[in-house]
Structure 1
Amino acid sequence: MSTTGSSAPDAGRPASGYRVYRPVLPEVCPGDPALMVLTGDAGGRCEVFALDARTGRTRQVTDRPRGTLHCAIDADAAVWWFDEDETGRGRWLHQDFHGGPVRPGLAGLPAGTPRGLAVGAGGTVAVGLGDESGLTVHLGRRGGPGRPAVRTEGHAVLCGLSPDGRLLAVTRSASSDRAVTVHTASGETVAELSGRGGGLWALGFAPAAPGSGGDGGAELLLVRQDGDRYETATWRAGDGVRPHRWCSFDTEITARWYPRGRRILVRQDRRGRSLLFTADLDRQALTPVPVPRGSVLDAVPRPDGDVHYLWTDTATPPHARSASGAPPPAAEAPAVRVPGRHTELWTPGPDGDVHTLLSLPERPAVRPPLVMLVHGGPADHDRDAYDPTVHSLVASGFAVARVNYRGSTGYGPRWRAAYGQGVGLTQVADLVSVRADVLARGLADPGAVGLWGTSWGGYLVLLALGTRPGLWSAGVAVKPLADCATAHRTGTPALRALDEALFGGTPDQVPELYARSSPVHYAHRVRAPLLMAAALHDVKCPPEQVRTYLAALRASGVRHEEMWLDSGHDGYLGGDHVAVLRRALGFLDRELRGAGRTTGRDHDSPSRPGRGQDRPPAPAAGDRVDHERR
């Protein structure tokens, strides 16, 4: 976990002290569960640490100027990390748990983006590296030369290596004909599994091959969408896909194998909260794992049968717990009081009620200004979980609404696919409806409503400011998508694939759809002051398209501020997060209740962008998070 700074902000004024906290569950060595790796704070940077639970000793493994996030530990207790530059390109390195020389994971590999790492028995390593056009999976012995085994064009991810090192699995778009492919170590294709008609996701091979051994014993865990439900399934060579319909759920799930036996731990995201289950595949038995009401951010089954999980709710910072009640290693959490009153509301909408997590200041003397904190993704959702931005805003006297608009996960396949008014425009319509609901209940000041979002959330902030300009008094957009067509042309293969799924084609094929959903198309209509925070090395929301949007604002005389970070999209420096938080809080304080305040107009008529009324197809339900801008 990562901390920097001093204290939580005081209520009633902009925050003056901050602490960045990033909780994690350690990765456990399969060969010795007492040996673990985790990312933690190193002077305001995220770095990799090795933890020996027997002795309680922790050793810092990495020390990189821009921090380190991706790490792993294999069965031989080798610690792995991804040594990347500011654009996210680099190589895997490893070191013995107790120290010693640093070696390449596989020698002779080109730099690329991390697209999967798997280590089989005896040190067989599979490394997935992405480039501008696709994925290459390299195989070899740990520290030895790597050889290309599988090459695929477009976005794909290595998602598993069988324990004997003979089979590897690659996942692509969940709704494609080749959603999951299984290959031999020599690159031959063993199986092509289709996700047409819903979606299919691979979650890794069982840690110990059951049955008679060999290729036929390797068992791959899957999740597939079947109509309005998500169900677990498994695949074996010769047997094909075997669905487990007794283990199905009405909202999105993920799962992972227990270290022993044919059992899996299932985590369900449902209506902003989490549920845990143990599924015994042999007995066809589904057993709930009791967890408090709130959100489980991660969960890991232990060799002794216990479950360690990372739990939180809006009022409680995340911390590690166990199903048995025994304290897990590295379970400390900051002892802070989260102020405010935390509740929820459901707003009627055309495709069902829109769920909002609402946080209000304690005993406000007057109706407080409202900040609508817009989540990214788009395949993500706001949770009943601690959010440092919510904490800072509520402690500073703002009301906060977190809206799980249509397209969000956690509400079932139909909600994920509800894009009837167009990409972005559907989500803005939900923000507008929730705004009206909050104000109608008298919970906030109608003349002081702001928006704040990051990545895809920042995109929706810009789109809302331009398409419904009379409703907002200020906006904060952090590392946003601002020009859809330009972002497609300069973005990564994964994001180009996402755009084409959302819009139904490329900007050359459906230019009118990209235009009517693009914030830059409406920049001249923005009235509210805007704070734009962008990153110079961002490959997901590239700086070129942000500059295009800012130029449009300048041409129209829109009041705005710019903040440029010397980082990529996923920054690992706590100082950057603190700097953005401090700047945004000061900006919103000034614009929503200070000298810069302007009054929003509730009676503004809805915009009707007229450049094409065709509806783009909905995204595939449950697309992997690494396909998203977030």
Structure 2
Amino acid sequence: MSRGFRLFYPALPVLAEHAPHRAVYVGDVDGRCEILAWDRRAGRARQITDRPTGTIRAALDPGGNTVWWFDDDLAGVGTWRICDFDRPDRSVAALPTVDPARHGGIAMAADGGAMVGLSGDDGLVLRMRTADGQVTERARVAGYAYLVDLDPAGRLVAVGADASAATAVTVLTVDGARVAEIAGRPDRRVWALGFAPGGGPARLLLVVEDRGGYLPATWTERGGLVRHDWCRFDTEITAGWFPDGRRILVRQDRHARSLLHEVDLDGQTRTMVDTPPGSILDAAVWPDGDVAYIWSDSVTPPQLRSVRGVELPYGPTGPDAPGAPDESVTTDCHRDEIWVPGPGGPVHALVATPTDRERPRPAVFLVHGGPFQHARDAYDPLVEILVSTGCTVVRVNYRGSSGYGSAWRNDFGAGVGLTQLEDLAAVRAHLIAQGAIEDRRTALWGTSWGGYLTLLALGRQPELWRLGVAISPVADYVAAFEAAAPAVRELDVLLFGGTPEQVPERYARASPITYVEQVRAPVLLAVSTGDVRCPPAPVEAYARLLAARRIPHQVVRRQAGHEDFDAHSHLALMQTVLLFMQRHFDGVREEGTPVALAMARPAG
């Protein structure tokens, strides 16, 4: 990777379909994510956006002439702007008569126009901006939905929704007429991924969950849905097309790592793509045929790689730009993985242990977000920071985590949150029995869903945990449901089997505020003012209940959205959390803590 602009957000650069030497990507600009225009022939990148809170969404027209970027606020509400690839300093509103809304997808037409999805409380609105700048509304889709793709001929649009719903995927004409609906079920979910490039009848790629596994499928207007049952995977996959419209690149998440497969749908062949062990955070076949991917492992921050050896460009000041971080700094520790017997089956966990400490050690369980994400064999600066303080760091892929098959991913048998606590407790008990960690010095640290599980565990299992750090958590599920964005409410309905009005007892049983009277451990709470996924007001109410009981706690308030893409803000938060741990969690040392490593990528 270059020492100029580096990756900040784990997503691939977007290349212009008909001018693949032109690209846009999210890069690191002074510790903040911004959109950069990259001329691959010249080997140089130019900064497109410059916003205090950063920018993470961009698109490029097929000819490589026009850059689109989303100008949103902390709550994710904003408008699309456009500028010339060669004149990034002059941007104008792409949809000048359209009110700000949340991003709901964007797809480029071959002639330089674009279909844009914008979502609000009433659903998704699709608008078309033609190459000459005319903007018209084309369709409205009620409820939670998002734009997937526009077919190469510019005639059909694919819209995705809840993958288990009867309208998991809807195909429309560009004028809004319904062409087809592809149904999902709770045990047979369906995801649309995109139309095949090139000419001929439109062919839509999908992933279908079936009998515990996952397989690719295709849809055409004449033939309907065709499942490729010969190509079954035992864990979660996503995929994208090769330029020939015949092969697909499949990315499989499996047991905290990733695999790439080249699949010929017509020839019925499947071949592994040679990639190093670790995690692939994004992958695609570029228009020039190069297979590109974002790769990381436990000691390497995310970096762009490709079969042809592509590298990111230098910034405007060249390879010796000042202030570029040293991405090779890691803490000396022992990394291992374990499988622990649990109530729902073997539980996989990643464990990092200081090499200079006698056993047993204090432990911090880093609880991943989600609920359907997973702890990866990927670089996490929090692991480096916490190991340097003398703690063992444990990352558990409890039930609900992806990468272990649909049965594991869909198992919430003991209740939302409560199922996951069973697995966390099982791994904790195993490590204590092995003499690896101390019984009286185990802590929890989580962000978003991980922060929610942290608060739930402190109240449901107060005898197990001695400290909690909850960043952007859910503290009261009912209150959070009422204040959250539509996409979040859709997820809650899926998890709980209904709304708080329909199944109030399930929400109450899974809500941390129900158990706040049982909390004994010190708690640090971090909230963001613009968070519409995990709203701050319920967390503030939870903190007041802790204060009434004189439980040691601290509330950190940040001017940010749910995801904070400012590395300086993360650095400040990490410093605050470490000071809190030093005061309230015996055994955490201060000296040698490489807090600057928090600059390596956004947390969460």
Secondary structure of 2:474 counterpart: coil
Deviations 1:512-567 (A, max 9, x none): 11111100111111100000011111111111111221122122221101100011
Q: Aligned with 1:293: secondary structure?
A: coil
SS of the residue corresponding to residue 159 of structure 1 reads strand
Of 47, 56, 69 in structure 2, the residue corresponding to residue 60 of structure 1 is 47
Which residue of the partner structure matches residue 273 of structure 2? 289
**Change in CA separation of 1:131 and 1:181 when aligned onto 2, cut-off 3 Å:** same
Q: SS of 1:245's equivalent?
A: coil
Alignment partner of 1:218 out of 197, 202, 220 = 202
> Partners of 2:559 and 2:275 in 1: how far apart?
40
**Equivalence for 1:27:** 14
Matched, 1:87 2:71: no
Task: Give the match's secondary structure for 1:176.
Answer: coil
Report if the CA contact (8 A) 1:277-1:286 is conserved: yes
For residue 24 of structure 2, give the secondary structure of its aligned residue in structure 1: strand
Report what 1:198 is aligned to: 188
SS of 1:580's partner is: helix
Q: Which residue identity lines up with residue 455 of structure 2 in the other structure? A: L
1:123-162 deviation digits (Å, cap 9, x = unpaired): 2211100112211111121462322212112110000001
Equivalent position to 1:116, from 105, 114, 122: 105
Aligned ranges 1:170-319 → 2 under 5 Å = 170-196=159-185, 197-209=187-199, 211=200, 217-319=201-303
> Superposed, which structure 2 residues align to 1:316-395 within 5 Å?
316-324=300-308, 326-330=309-313, 334-395=327-388
1:599 corresponds to? none
Does the CA-based 8 Å contact 2:7-2:303 persist in structure 1?
Answer: no
The whole-number CA distance in structure 1 between the counterparts of 2:528 and 2:2 is 21
Deviates more, 1:171-180 or 1:76-85: 76-85
Stretch deviating more after TM superposition (99-108 or 545-554) = 99-108
Residues in 2 aligned to 1:87 and 1:539: alpha-carbon distance in whole angstroms: 6
Whether 2:33 is the aligned partner of 1:43: answer no
CA distance in 2, matches of 1:28, 1:391: 34
| Contact residue 37 and residue 47 of structure 2 kept, 8 A | yes
Q: CA deviation at 1:575?
A: 1.6
Cα shift at 1:22: 4.5
Report the count of equivalent residues: 576
Q: CA deviation at 1:30?
A: 1.0
1:327 CA drift (Å): 3.9
8 Å contact 2:362–2:587 — kept in the other structure?
Answer: no
Q: Secondary structure at 1:552's aligned position in 2? A: helix
Residues 544-596 of structure 1: CA deviation (Å, up to 9, x unaligned): 11122112212222110110001111122112211121212222233222599
Partner of 1:505: 498
Of 129, 150, 157 in structure 2, the residue corresponding to residue 140 of structure 1 is 129
Amino acid at match of 1:246: W
Q: Secondary structure at the match of 1:247?
A: coil
Mapped contact 1:483–1:520 kept (Cα < 8 A) = yes
Give the letter for the 1:497 counterpart.
E
Does the 8 Å CA contact 2:18/2:287 hold for their aligned counterparts?
no
CA shift, 1:445, in A, is 2.0
Task: Give deviations 1:497-525, integer Å, cap 9, x for gaps.
Answer: 11111111111111111111100111111
Aligned to 1:617: none
Residues of 1 paired with 2:268 and 2:331: CA distance? 42
Contact kept? 2:124, 2:140, Cα under 8 Å: yes
CA contact (8 A) 1:121 1:163 kept: yes
Corresponding residue number in structure 1 for 2:407: 414
AA in 1 matched with 2:155: R
Deviation at 1:496, TM superposition (A): 1.0
Is residue 272–residue 381 contact of structure 1 (8 Å, CA) maintained in 2?
Answer: yes
Residues 348 and 594 (structure 1), Cα distance of their counterparts in 2 relative to 1, 3 Å cut: closer
Q: What CA deviation, in whole Å up to 9, does each residue of 1:79-109 have, x standing for no partner?
A: 1110001211001111111115312223311
CA distance in structure 1 between the partners assigned to 2:559 and 2:129 by the alignment: 36
Deviations 1:251-295 (A, max 9, x none): 100001112331110000011111100111221111110112211
Matches within 5 A, 1:482-501: 482-501=475-494
The superposition leaves residues 179-208 of structure 1 with CA deviations (integer Å, 9 ceiling, x where unpaired) of: 000001111000011012410000011122
**AA matched with 1:38:** Y
Tell me how far apart the structure 2 counterparts of residues 142 and 484 of structure 1 sit (CA, whole Å): 45
SS in 2 for 1:557: coil
Per the alignment, in what secondary structure is the counterpart of residue 548 of structure 2? helix
Structure 2 letter corresponding to 1:177: A
Counterpart secondary structure, 2:576:
helix
Shift of the alpha carbon at 1:360? Answer: 0.5
Tell whether the 8 Å contact from 1:3 to 1:41 is kept in structure 2 after alignment: no
CA contact (8 A) 1:106 1:143 kept: no
**Is the 2:7–2:304 contact (alpha carbons within 8 Å) kept by the matching residues of 1?**
no
Q: CA RMSD in A?
A: 2.1
Aligned to 2:138: 149
- Note if contact 1:87-1:537 (Cα within 8 Å) is conserved in structure 2: yes
Looking at structure 1, the residues matched to 476 and 132 of structure 2 have their Cα atoms a distance apart, in angstroms, of 43
Going from structure 1 to structure 2, the CA distance change for 1:521 and 1:534 (only over 3 Å counts) comes to same
The residue number in structure 1 matching 2:542 is 549
Residue 56 of structure 1 and its aligned partner are, at CA, apart by 1.4
User: Is 2:388 aligned against 1:405?
Assistant: no
Counterpart residue identity of residue 69, structure 1 = I
1:318 Cα deviation (Å)? 2.1
Please give the alpha-carbon distance, in whole angstroms, between the structure 1 residues aligned to 2:398 and 2:277.
Answer: 22
Q: Could you report, residue by residue, the CA deviation over 1:323-351 in whole angstroms, capped at 9, with x for unpaired residues? A: 34x24334998222342111101110122
The DSSP-based 3-state class of the residue aligned with 2:20 is coil
CA contact (8 A) 1:367 1:445 kept: yes
Query: Is 1:97 the equivalent of 2:85?
Result: yes
* TM-aligned CA deviation for residue 20 of structure 1: 11
Shift of the alpha carbon at 1:21? Answer: 5.5
Q: Judge conservation of contact 1:358–1:401 (CA < 8 Å) in 2.
A: yes
Equivalent residues of 1:534, 1:543 under 8 A apart: yes
Structure 1 position 532 matched with structure 2 position 525: yes
User: Does the 8 Å contact 1:136/1:150 carry over to 2?
Assistant: yes
1:121 match: secondary structure = coil
Find the aligned partners of 2:153 and 2:564 in 1 and give their Cα distance: 36
Instruction: Give the stretch that moved more between structures: 229-238 or 312-321.
Output: 312-321
1:64 and 1:356, CA in 2 relative to 1: closer, same or farther beyond 3 A?
A: same
The code of the aligned residue for 2:349 comes to T
Q: Residue 574 in 1 paired to residue 574 in 2?
A: no
Amino acid at match of 1:145: Q
Identity fraction in percent? 47
Question: Is 1:105–1:143's contact at 8 Å kept on the other side of the alignment?
Answer: no
Q: Does the aligned pair in 2 maintain the 1:267–1:276 contact within 8 Å?
A: yes
Q: Secondary structure at the match of 1:282?
A: coil
- In the superposition, the TM-score normalised over structure 2's length comes to 0.92
User: Is 1:107 paired with 2:96?
Assistant: yes
Runs of 5+ in structure 2 lacking a partner? Answer: 320-325, 590-603
- Which structure 2 residues correspond to residues 546-625 of structure 1 after superposition, within 5 A? 546-593=539-586
